Structure 1
Amino acid sequence: MAEASTQTIHDVVCGFCGLGCDDLTVEVEGRAVRVRGEACPEAVRLFTRLDVDDRPVSVAGDPASLDEAIEAARRILSEARAPLIGGLGTDMAGAGALVDLAVRFGGVLDHYASDGLFRNYAAAQRTGWLAATLAEVRNRCDVLLVVGEDPSAIWGRLFERFFPADPLFAGKPRKVVFLGGAPGEKAKVQLGGADVSHIATSDPVAVLEALGGFTAGRVPPGTSFGGVAVEALAALADKLRTAHYAVVTWNAATLDDGDLVAERATALVDTLNVTTRAGVFPLGGRDNLIGVNQLMLWRLGYPLRTAVRGQQSVHDGALYATQAALGDADVLVWVSAFRPEPPPEFAGKLIALAHPETVFEREPDVLIPVGTPGVDHAGTVFRMDSIVSLPLGALRVATLPSVAEAVRRIAEG
């Protein structure tokens, strides 16, 4: 048998973390896939595929045909009282099919990574906000305030995308202030041309609130806030006031008071915009979280954490969060095509449309291994700033169904 030739594909789009890097180089040999050149560890791990047989479809733990699994899933959903359609790690076509599934059988819809999104929503609903896009951060931001832990541990190329090597800021080093955790080595390397400083605090909410007062010209009473001396806060406020375009960024999912951080950051940006230009850049969006949420808004008029019953949709950000909804659910439809994300612990019926490498604590009642968007089949996802949709291409011949294909067969039978 002749050995498979190796194909090198350039400018591959990565749809895993929401940052939307579109410059990856990937080698494909037969069904094996591997990343070459510049890429973050997350992309390397999730793009990598071996040339091995696919995991089989199963029903009640026994191998089955796809037709048998589709029929079993349809039967379980037909008898369900309160389904939860969770995970939702899929591309736009898959998300559309899952909304159709909810319309057909009823159910709550929530993405496994939505906690940070709804902490940000809590702030945006109360005050609104002025959000920057990735392009605005790249091209205009001269002072960046990073709240919380160093985000490059999750988004490996974040600062490279924020501040690429370009002539726009030649001779004018940008200023980056880490408020909370210190920058790691990866961040320091990517920010090598910037003026980087660190202000340690375990209470970023208190610091941001006091900082808002300083930027407005008020001196709050006290000698320190969140463990940060007023002198340091005054100096930081001066940096922000004199910036041409300041940006505040944070990851609400990793902050205990993520909603309050978002609210204080938004208030700070509002104050700065009286005299200069500033914006917020909330981090998030893994596994097409933003795209699925956008599609829900278009189709149902509500975001994630919405229950569909008959011809009605009801949204409740607390009641229909995955962990809360599991308390009432009798069937969990778990969807995770981008990564082997296991479902939460659940005692009811489990239908899994899952990455073939997923490890389950117990065998699903129905398991349909599905292809990964951007590896096994083409698709579309949204970038974390919700502005740009990204086309994902197929890297190898698909032998597993996409989420959209499998779900449509369940819903249309």
Structure 2
Amino acid sequence: MAEVQTIHDVACGFCGLGCGDLTVEVEGRDVRAKGSLCPEAARLLRRLDTPDPMARVAGEVASPADAARAAHQILAAARAPLIGGLGVDMAGAGAAVDLAIRFGGVLDHYASDGLFRNYAAVQRTGWLSTTLAEVRNRCDVLLVVGDDPTATWGRLFERLYPVTPLFADQGRTVVFLGGAPGDKAKGQLAGAAEVIHHATPDPVAVLEALGSLIAGRRPPGENFGGIGADTLAGLAEDLRNAHYAVVTWNAADLADGDLVAERATALVDTLNVTTRAGVFPLGGRDNIIGVNQLMLWRLGYPLRTAVQGQASSHDGTLYATQAALGDADVLVWVSAFRPEPPPAFGGKIIALAHPDTVFDKEPDVLIPVGTPGVDHAGTVFRMDSIVSLPLGALRVATLPSVAEAVRRIAEG
């Protein structure tokens, strides 16, 4: 029986929060989280000491070399590949870009909808964004727009609002503007901040009214998005009097995410005339921030970019995954962090996938890959874009990394 090894201060690369204090037990190739942490990390870190799935070509078991050769042949004959999913570490992201440069294709991350809703606001107005550390240490009034974000980021308020902040010692308030905080959020904020909830079906209208009130203009009407004008006037006064106010939201879960981002940005701009404030957009799932950064460094464009020959072109609408699938004849689906299945697609599919992935349609080529931070070391970016996190291997790998699998495909 293998000895149980306890590993402390393990970094998690799944949701973008970049928690680096996890404790994991490793017994042979069995990996399990120990202690209390978010269910998402516990689920995605869990591994059993069982044989890994084999590569397959047309549904038949194949050697890694044969699978790579089959993928190479499909890409060499492709007219318009889409390289999607892109749940990869930085080395895997670089390899995916190399693949697009060699064979051509559109590059997009499966979770990019929220990113591009935020981009729409940034392109129109710019914004003053803050970091996780700044929120944690200085923010005394936090405005949370939309549903309780702990459903996606399980330890968000634990990370943002410690019981003893570094500088913000004048009392702290978290205002939920939309969905009510759940028990998890309330538990994390207990003793750290006062919690206030204002229900609204229309956060855009509320943010617009708040911006006017902060600027000293009372808009006509007695109710905005279901919240009374006097209540909003009191909230505007609290924001004006804050030492460091922050507005946060998850654009991916908001139908009007781009408008929420724009109104939040305008509100923060107004606050910064007399005090200090910032926006803190939520995101970062499966290293989307790192993949986007790498594409900017390598190609000069973000995600949703097409590479053809020596040229690249970007279109945030035309090259979004669902739109690009309409023109693609080959989908290269890459998801190493989680068993995220590919979207429905009628053309050929090459899947570099998490070993637990369940497919509605058998890929033409399946190459199971290891997970960064479990099977092999890697690097990811935190959701606020400024911190890169090294992920360590927790067990001996028997599956290739995405970078290794892509290199084999390129070599044919």
TM-score (norm 2): 0.99
Cross-structure match for 2:323: 324
Structure 1: distance between partners of 2:252 and 2:20: 25
Shift in Å at residue 169 of structure 1?
5.9
Cross-structure match for 2:228: 229
From 80, 103, 106, the equivalent of 1:105 is 103
Cross-structure match for 1:95: 93
Aligned to 2:97, what secondary structure does the other structure show? helix
Cross-structure match for 1:54: 52
Shift in Å at residue 410 of structure 1?
1.2
Aligned to 2:166, what secondary structure does the other structure show? helix
Counterpart amino acid of residue 269 in structure 1: V
Cross-structure match for 2:187: 189
How many pairs are equivalent? 411
Distance 1:57 1:383, change over 3 A: same
1:205-354 aligned within 5 A: 205-354=204-353
Q: Does the aligned pair in 1 maintain the 2:138–2:168 contact within 8 Å?
A: no
Cross-structure match for 1:204: 203
Aligned to 1:241, what secondary structure does the other structure show? helix
Distance 1:305 1:167, change over 3 A: closer
Cross-structure match for 2:133: 135
Cross-structure match for 2:36: 38
Q: Does the aligned pair in 1 maintain the 2:138–2:165 contact within 8 Å?
A: no
Give the 4+ runs in structure 1 shifted more than 6 A: none
Q: Does the aligned pair in 1 maintain the 2:137–2:168 contact within 8 Å?
A: no
Structure 1: distance between partners of 2:196 and 2:29: 46
Shift in Å at residue 170 of structure 1?
7.8
Shift in Å at residue 171 of structure 1?
6.0
Counterpart amino acid of residue 198 in structure 2: I
Counterpart amino acid of residue 291 in structure 1: G
From 136, 147, 150, the equivalent of 1:149 is 147
Structure 2: distance between partners of 1:342 and 1:98: 18
Counterpart amino acid of residue 84 in structure 2: G
Structure 2: distance between partners of 1:173 and 1:358: 46
Shift in Å at residue 121 of structure 1?
0.1
Shift in Å at residue 172 of structure 1?
3.3
Cross-structure match for 2:375: 376
Structure 2: distance between partners of 1:165 and 1:30: 38
Which range is displaced more, 3-12 or 164-173? Answer: 164-173
1:16-31 aligned within 5 A: 16-31=14-29
Structure 2: distance between partners of 1:247 and 1:308: 38
Counterpart amino acid of residue 240 in structure 2: R
Structure 1: distance between partners of 2:35 and 2:4: 16
Structure 2: distance between partners of 1:385 and 1:170: 20
Q: Deviations over 1:9-48 (max 9, x none)?
A: 0000000000000000000001000000131000000000
Q: Does the aligned pair in 1 maintain the 2:141–2:173 contact within 8 Å?
A: yes
Q: Does the aligned pair in 1 maintain the 2:128–2:265 contact within 8 Å?
A: yes
Structure 1: distance between partners of 2:201 and 2:347: 40
1:151-190 aligned within 5 A: 151-166=149-164, 168=166, 172-190=170-188
Aligned to 1:168, what secondary structure does the other structure show? coil
Shift in Å at residue 94 of structure 1?
0.3
Structure 2: distance between partners of 1:168 and 1:283: 22
Which range is displaced more, 302-311 or 168-177? Answer: 168-177
Structure 1: distance between partners of 2:378 and 2:411: 21
Structure 2: distance between partners of 1:44 and 1:101: 32
Unaligned stretches of 5+ residues in structure 1: none
Counterpart amino acid of residue 98 in structure 1: A
Q: Does the aligned pair in 1 maintain the 2:88–2:372 contact within 8 Å?
A: yes
1:380-399 aligned within 5 A: 380-399=379-398
Counterpart amino acid of residue 392 in structure 1: L
Structure 1: distance between partners of 2:96 and 2:190: 44
Structure 1: distance between partners of 2:162 and 2:18: 15
Structure 1: distance between partners of 2:352 and 2:165: 46
Structure 2: distance between partners of 1:59 and 1:10: 40
Structure 2: distance between partners of 1:21 and 1:328: 39
Please report the RMSD computed on the Cα atoms of aligned residues, expressed in angstroms.
Answer: 0.8
Distance 1:249 1:171, change over 3 A: closer
Q: Deviations over 1:260-294 (max 9, x none)?
A: 00000000000000000000000001000000000
